[in-house]
A and B are shown apart, each in its own frame.
Chain A
Amino acid sequence: MIPTIPQSRPFRFAYSAYVVLFFVYLALPLFVVTVFAFNDSQFPSLPWEGFTWNWFFGDAAPMIGVFHERPILRAIGTSAFVGLAVSLLSVAVGVSNAFLFTRHKFPGRGLLYILMLLPLVIPGIVLGISMLVFSSTVANAVWDSMKWDLEVLRPGLTLVILGQFSFIATIATLVISARLQKFDQSLEEAALNLGATRLTAVRTITIPYLAPAMIGAFVVAFLMSFENFNTTLMLVGSDAPLTIAMFDRLKEGSTPLLNAVSLLLMLGSSCLALVMIAFQRRD
């Protein structure tokens, strides 16, 4: 079953056919989503009524395109804002955790490391409700004792950001730690010998070395935040990020507008992913 071992022709053919079929299966949903974004019809389904750009640029009912649909544009803005906030927080905490776990030996390190991994094995919806319950416990306690209404602890963007951060931080930590472990610490020692302070050494030697991993973690965090559904669903307030806004529309019935948004999403995330790969390659 490796190229150096001869196999019968029918077997090789069947195997290759299976692999091709697998990739067709992977591509099929994305392909139809793309194609129907250009269908000149009210519904994303056959028959094909001809090619149109209206679901992107149309500005008159019934075919209002993405770029003229305010609620969708606002939702994209909200998602981008949440994504940036989550990525910044995650990368910052990720760098700090990476230094802690690779540079320090302390009692309880193993336990903390396992705790740090836990958010990955907690279902997203459970993360969401636990945060919802806890934040409202705190908000209610504050209200009962001091009569302050802490608006930030009610469902809304702050909670969405914290909820997504709570598990994306783990991923950022893993990505950044992996690179820090490969760092040759004698480089830092050389800087110290040459008279640099500890902080200068880290800033001028270690952080630039970590930069590709930090950018990688940032992009991954941004994509994960942008696409997150389960945790966000439980914590969302009146400002819906894109996935929630699209979900609400999809429940009411779909138009090719959703295909157009989906296509833009695909293009956007592919571009980001390519940027990330390019960065990793160059290094």
Chain B
Amino acid sequence: MRDGTRLGFILLLTPLLLWLSLLIIIPHIDMFLVSLRERVGVGKYEISPANYLTFLQEPLYLWTFLRTAVMSVLATLITLVVAFPVAYYIAKMAKGRVRSLLFLLCLVPFWVSELVRTFGWMILLRETGVISSLLQYLGLVHGPVEMLYNDAAIMIGLVYTSMLFMVVPLITTLGSLDDAVIEAGYDLGGSGPSILREIVIPHAMPGIVSGCIVVFMLSLGNYLTPTMLGGKDSLWFTELIYSQFIVRFNWELGAAFGFVLLFLSSFIVWVMLRLTGQTLEKTMG
């Protein structure tokens, strides 16, 4: 390399290295080290897996973790099932102007902060809320109904919040499927369901995978929706992390929780990429 290019290269490399090392890599290593610390006296610490053992032995922690993971998987599946027909409609059935308009309409709710969306659901679902009032007005129920503060409300909120991240990759991959391929399927005697199974879904797989990865991660790491829409019994793992850090000031245990969460989300992402033979570069980039 010539000296000029070399200098340029170093100048370009520096911000990247500073960013990744100081803001991502070293903080995570430090967090891991803190999670391995056990307080044995005033200002005295020992290296031990005590925090991870606490996590495994305390039923509330483990149970909340499993519940969060299962509900995130469920939210991802529901989002996929709800989004797929809509994405297919926009990509394959709608044409021209209508198509751009529908696509734009899908994006609109997500230019708005998550807080506003959650607030909207609170107004709709709560005891004095719009749906409850409407049901009473129609005479379907007697007295107010509380629809907030339960797992179903969390699910509605999670699916709503992550919809965009499923719809957009699905539309992109489905849009690249040639109509002629589907016609050929019918010509060869395929039925609607068999064409969906044999042609459409395999073609849309990259979009399905990247949508599912993002939705799963967003659900797992969500704090706002479970806190605002969930009840006392529907604790989310992120709420445990928050309370260890900010309320209890037990950073060691909080850091261990953070690492467990990071591990689970990375593991699931890795498994999904593995199972479908995709790479992170292709899925995200």
- A residues near B (Cβ < 8 Å) are 1-5, 15, 18-19, 22-23, 25-33, 36, 43-47, 92-93, 96-97, 99-100, 104, 106, 112-127, 129-135, 137, 162-163, 165-166, 169, 174, 198, 223, 226-227, 229-230, 233-234, 243, 246-247, 250, 254, 258-259, 262, 265-266, 269-270, 272-273
For B183, give its contact among A2, A129, A132 (CB under 8 Å). A2
Q: Given A19-B89, A26-B105, A46-B133, check contact A269 B112 (CB 8 Å).
A: yes
Considering only CB atoms, which chain A residue lies closest to B18 in the complex? A93
- Quick one: which of B104-144 are within 8 Å of A by CB? 105-109, 111-117, 119-124, 126, 128-130, 133
A97 contacts B16, C-beta separation under 8 Å:
yes
Residues of B within 8 A of A (CB): 4, 8-9, 11-13, 15-16, 19-20, 23-28, 30-31, 34, 82, 85-86, 88-89, 92-93, 95, 102, 105-109, 111-117, 119-124, 126, 128-130, 133, 160, 163, 179, 182-183, 186, 192, 195-196, 200, 213, 217, 220-224, 228, 238, 241-242, 245-246, 251, 254-255, 258-259, 261-262, 265-266, 269, 280-281, 284-285
Chain B residues in 8 Å Cβ range of A36: 123
> Provided the pairs A123-B261, A129-B241 are in contact, do residues A93 and B119 lie with their beta carbons within 8 angstroms?
no
Residue A129 contacts which of B105, B121, B124, B254 (CB distance < 8 angstroms)? B254
Residues of B close to A262: CB separation below 8 A:
112-113, 115-116, 119-120
Q: Is the CB of B223 within 8 A of A230?
A: yes
Q: How far apart sit A19 and B238, CA to CA, in the bound complex (Å)?
A: 33
Interface-centre pick from A18, A30, A118, A130 (highest chain B CB count, 10 A)? A130
Q: How many A-B residue pairs have CB under 8 A?
A: 246
Chain A residues lying within 8 Å of B259, measured Cβ to Cβ, are 126
Q: How far is the CB of B68 from chain A (nearest CB, A)?
A: 11
**Contact of A166 with B24 in the complex, beta carbons under 8 Å:** yes
Least CB distance from B180 to A in Å reads: 10
Chain A nearest CB from B82 CB (Å) reads: 7
Chain B residue, CB-CB nearest to A256:
B123
Most A CB within 10 A of own CB, among B112, B262, B284: B112
CB B90 to nearest CB in A, in angstroms, measures 8
Given contacts A33-B123, A269-B111, contact A99 B12 (CB under 8 A): yes
- Within 8 Å by CB of B27, from A19, A43, A134, A169, lies A134
Give Cα A33 to B116, complex, Å: 8
Nearest CB on A from B227, distance (A): 8
Chain A to chain B contacts (Cβ below 8 Å), 14 pairs: A2-B93, A4-B183, A100-B12, A113-B281, A123-B238, A129-B31, A129-B255, A130-B31, A133-B255, A230-B238, A243-B113, A259-B119, A262-B112, A266-B116
A126 touches B262 (CB 8 A): yes
B23 contacts A166, CB within 8 Å?
yes
Q: A45-B133, A104-B9, A123-B217 are in contact. List 4 more A-B contacts (CB 8 A).
A: A99-B12, A163-B23, A227-B112, A270-B108
* Closest chain A residue to B260, Cβ basis: A126
Q: A234 to B122, Cβ gap below 8 A?
A: no
**Chain A residue with Cβ nearest B219:** A123
Question: A118-B24, A133-B30 known; A43 and B113 CB under 8 Å?
Answer: no
